[in-house]
Structure formats: C-alpha cells, structure tokens
Structure 1
Amino acid sequence: MSPDCTRKIARSTMIGLAAGLALLAISFVPRVADAAPQALALVATSSPIQLACAGDKCSAEFTTYCLQPERHAPVRGTNYFLTEKSRIALTAIDRNGKAIALSPHKDLRFQSLRSHSAVSISLAPGLVQRLGLKSVSLALANNITLTPEAEQGDDNPITADELALVETELRPVGNYVVDRNSTGMAAAHVTNRLVNYLPKVEDNAHATAEHWRGLMAQARDDGLSPDAAHLAQNAFDLCRFYANQSVQGDMRYCMQGQHDRLMKVLNSDYWKAVKTGS
C-alpha cells in the first residue's frame, strides 16, 4: 500500500473515530440543573444476553436512548428503575445447575454509563454469593422504559402523569423509529455484543477477530441486512485500525464509541419524529 493511501485511510479512520469517541465524553459533563434526567428506552434483545460475572458482581452493557429531549442527559452512574409495565426475562442458574427465581424489578440494578446511549444492568449486591449463582442471562422485551431514581431536593421530578405519557405515547414511537430499525439499530446490536465480550484492555486481537466473525455470521443467519452488516463491519475495522495504530488494547473503548455514534443518529431520528407529531 502506498504512503498516500495509508495516510488517507488514517485520516478517514480518525474522522470516524472522533465522532464516536467524542460521545463518550458526554458521560462526564456535570449536571447543570436540579432536575430529574430524561427517561430512557431500553432496547429489546433478539436473544438472551449473559451477564459477565466476576467475584460477587454480574453485569453487562445494554443499549438505551433518550425518550425526553427536553430533559438533560444522565451523568455516568445515575441510578434508574425498571417501570412497572416493563418486562425482562431473568434466568439465573446456581452452581448445582438449579434454576433460581429472581425478580427483574427487585433484583436488578440499572445505571447510566455513557449519557443516554448505554446502561449497565447488574445483580443486586450480595445475590451472587448468597444464592451461589453460576450464570445469569437477560432477555429484554419490547417497549421497556427506565425512569431515573428520585433525588431529594429535585425541583423538577418526573411525575406519575409524565411517566404515563412517556410509556403510552413516546415509547411506542421510539419502538417504531429506533428499536425496529433494520440498519443502524441492527448494527448497534452487533457492536454492543462485541463490547460485552471485550475486556477493558484487549490482550488477544486474534481471539477478538474470531469472535467478531462469529457474531457477524450469527447476525447474518438471523437476517442482518447488507447495509447493517456494512455499518457494523466499518465500525469494527475503524476500531481495529485505531487499537493497532493509535492506542494499543483500546478496542473496547473504541467500539463503545462506535455503538454510541450509531445510536446518536437513531436518537436524532426519534427526536424529529416526536417533534413532528407534537
């Protein structure tokens, strides 16, 4: 490959990365008002996602987006709750292979990770050790809504009437515009699965490549469109170049940025749809 071609690839790569990685910085913007942050849509999964367990903690990242553009985005670590109408199938197996019944509303914890684009879902502290759990997986149903934890002194909380409006009017719009999108959303699903596979510091690029090929093959078998496959593969290739040439081992961070870039476009489409319908 000629030096000019290499430089062009590098420039286009870093431009694409800048858009994705800049989104990660949003997570650290300080809260500007004493008002509740926006309710979030938690995107359904096409198949169960297994939580990664280490010690007494089991958690994984899941895709979200903003349902209320008039409210501010959550800062990293904002606690959220699953609304009463929302449904998650929670499967837990103990070390003896026995299925353990758990309540998604009581036994799961939800925290914002990167603005409104992703949340961490984990088991409540102490459950793994107390119940001797070996594996936990989640299957997310359609139209799940997360509402922020109420804080003392909040001068503009999300009221019951406001939340009812979000669930009955806004969430179905999001499901139609975002959740069911067969290109960007489908690509975001695949990137999110790789994010959950990758360690914080990648130490085996070959294993990552093999896992990615498996994810893409499964996604294609499940109906991934050529356009969605192109978006997903482009995200992976950009991050592979970045992790190899710029910041060694930073594949996970980069893929998070690419996931969030895809979700930003979809969230903008949702905001336009809501504004048009208002």
Structure 2
Amino acid sequence: MKLQFAAAAAFALIAADAGAVDWHSARPKLQGPQALGVVATRDAVPVTCEDGRCTAYLGAFCLEEKVLPPDHGTLYRANRAGDVVLTVTAADGRTRRIDSAETMEIFSHLGFNALKIVLKPATAASLGSAKLAVEVAERAAVVPVEEQVAVSAEDRAIATGSHRSVAEAVFERAEERADAARLATDMINALPERREVSEALRRSLWERVATPHATRGMTPSGVDKARTMFNACNRTVDISLRVTLRDCLEGRHTDVMKELNDEFWKMLGGV
C-alpha cells in the first residue's frame, strides 16, 4: 500500500541519518513476544474461504506493555482450551464446536491489535460445505508458541488472568471506540482476504454489515464512528490504485485498537 511504502521510506531515511543503527541489537534483550488478549465475540465470526485458504480476522490487544510485541505473522496458541473455537454448522442446522488446537493456526496481524485465523488445510477439506465460524470466549487470550526470551510463568499468569479481566472494561464495553472497532472487524470479515470486490458490493458493505442485530446494544456514536471509517475508506479506494477497502479498514481498526490499548495500559499503571 502507498502508506506502507511511504512509512518504509521514511524509516529508511531516519536509519541512515542515525548511522544505520541496528536497534534490535542495540537495545537490551527483552522478554517476548507478548501475550495478547482477544476481543470476545458476541456472534460467531464467519470464516471466509478463497482459493482453498480459509481465514477469519479478530480484534486483539497487548496484555504486557513491557514485553516485546510480535512480528507480523507470529504464531500463537489459545491460552486455555475453549478460548478460541471453530463452530461447524451442517446443512441440517446441527452445530458442533471444535477447539482451536485441532483446527486452526493463529497468527499476529499488523502488530498486536489483530489476529489472523487460518484453518489447517486438512480441517477445511474435511468439513466440506459446512458453514464455518470462529467464536472467542470471554476473557480469552493467546500466547506465543515460541519465545525469544521466556516470560516467567507467574508474570504470564497475571497478564492472562487479572490483567485480561481488567481489559473487559476497555475493549468489550459499550463505548464509541470499542463499538467502532467491533463493526470494523465485522466489515473486514465480510470482505475477501486478498482481492478487491466490485464497486457495487463495496458501497453496499455498510448496509449488509451494520444491521439492527449487529448494532444491538452499541452506542450511537460508536456506530457513527464506524460509518465514518467506512466512508473514508471508500473515498481512499476511489483515488487509489493499490489500496483495497479491506486494507484501509484494517488500518483504521488498528488505529482505534491502539487508542484503546493505551487506555488499558494507563489503567494498569504501565506493567
């Protein structure tokens, strides 16, 4: 995307001016990557399959401010059995739930404020035409499969326990930014992962996603903020040859989640 290229170019210039310092080697070794909270789902998030790849997008947040953030695409696992599950609905309406450890891989996406769920190929193939979705339990968290420097079991338990409980009051409340982030996630999951949609489908996305059921219990200002994000992204796509609607909405979602994450860290007093 244009914004990503511009940011990369700016960073390169800064590095050159600073004598091309290798900041990763210059700074002290820190524990990490971080444990991440996962925003609980009110309704199951649909899994979208494209060219044999089945994915879903989830909101996430950092639980450990002083631990190194994950690189893009870092592999995670659910902290507890049942935190993240795949729901499988057959043609006759019967639904079963299968734990994430058996069915999917969980990757950090664009930092620590989103996760990309990717179904294991064997799982997707075995379930055929069933309707697939992802559910996230209350107070869910994910932890890295591998750590550069291990976080102590005690510190990790605090992060995924009491700190995750505090996070409910920030990320899962009825509040403008939290509601806007939820609706942005819904819009992202209604779009294909890797390609643009037709202009007609793009412009009708809001009406398809922001239904009375989806917006139940949300603040009017949160719904308005999400609509503003959608309209701004449509304008961006109109004038860009590179940015898709999904690209733009993912960026807007990340911005809102970072604001909420800052508020969460302040509530904890910086831990």
TM-score, reference length from structure 2: 0.81
Alignment partner of 2:115 out of 108, 114, 119 = 119
The amino acid of 2:259's aligned partner reads V
| 1:214-261 deviations in Å (ceiling 9; x for gaps) | 322336751322210221111111111111023366211111111111
Kept in 2, the 8 Å contact 1:81–1:148? The answer is yes
Match of 1:239 in 2: 233
Does the C-alpha gap of structure 1 residues 162 and 133 become closer, same or farther in structure 2, counting only changes over 3 Å?
farther
Residue-by-residue CA offset, 1:161-185 (whole Å, 9 max, x unaligned): 2221112221011111222252101
Instruction: Give the alignment of 1:42-121 within 5 angstroms.
Output: 42-84=38-80, 87-93=83-89, 99=95, 102-121=98-117
| Selected match of 1:253 from 236, 247, 270 | 247
Equivalent positions of 1:202-221 (< 5 A) are: 202-218=196-212, 221=215
Tell me if 1:166 matches 2:162: no
- 2:184 maps to 1:191: yes
Unaligned runs of 5+ in 1: 1-16
In structure 2, what is the Cα distance between the partners aligned to 1:62 and 1:204? 24
User: Are residues 110 and 140 of structure 1, via their aligned partners in 2, closer, same or farther at CA, if it must alter by over 3 Å?
Assistant: same
Equivalents in 2 of 1:131, 1:228: separation in Å?
Answer: 36
Residue 54 of structure 2 aligns to which amino acid in structure 1?
C
Asked if the contact 2:46/2:189 (under 8 Å) is kept, the reply is no
Whether the aligned pair in 1 keeps the contact of 2:206 and 2:227 (CA below 8 Å) is no
Q: Tell me which residue corresponds to 1:6.
A: none
Report if the CA contact (8 A) 1:93-1:133 is conserved: no
Q: TM-score, normalised by structure 1?
A: 0.80
Alignment match, 1:135: 131
Number of residue-to-residue matches in the alignment? 253
Give the one of 152, 157, 178 matched to 2:150.
Answer: 157
Matches of 2:76 and 2:266 in 1, distance apart? 25
Report if aligned partners of 1:44, 1:142 keep a CA contact under 8 Å in 2: yes
Contact 2:35 2:64 in 1 (8 A): yes
On the 8 A contact 1:203/1:249 being kept in 2, the answer is no
* Matched-pair contact (CA < 8 Å) for 2:45–2:189: no
Q: Is the 8 A contact 1:60 1:120 kept in 2?
A: yes
List gaps (5 residues or longer) in structure 2.
Answer: 12-21
1:266 to 242, 246, 260: 260
Amino acid at match of 2:32: A
RMSD over aligned CA atoms reads 3.1
SS in 1 for 2:269: helix
**Which range moves more in the overlay, 67-76 or 240-249?**
240-249
Distance 1:224 1:262 in 2: 16
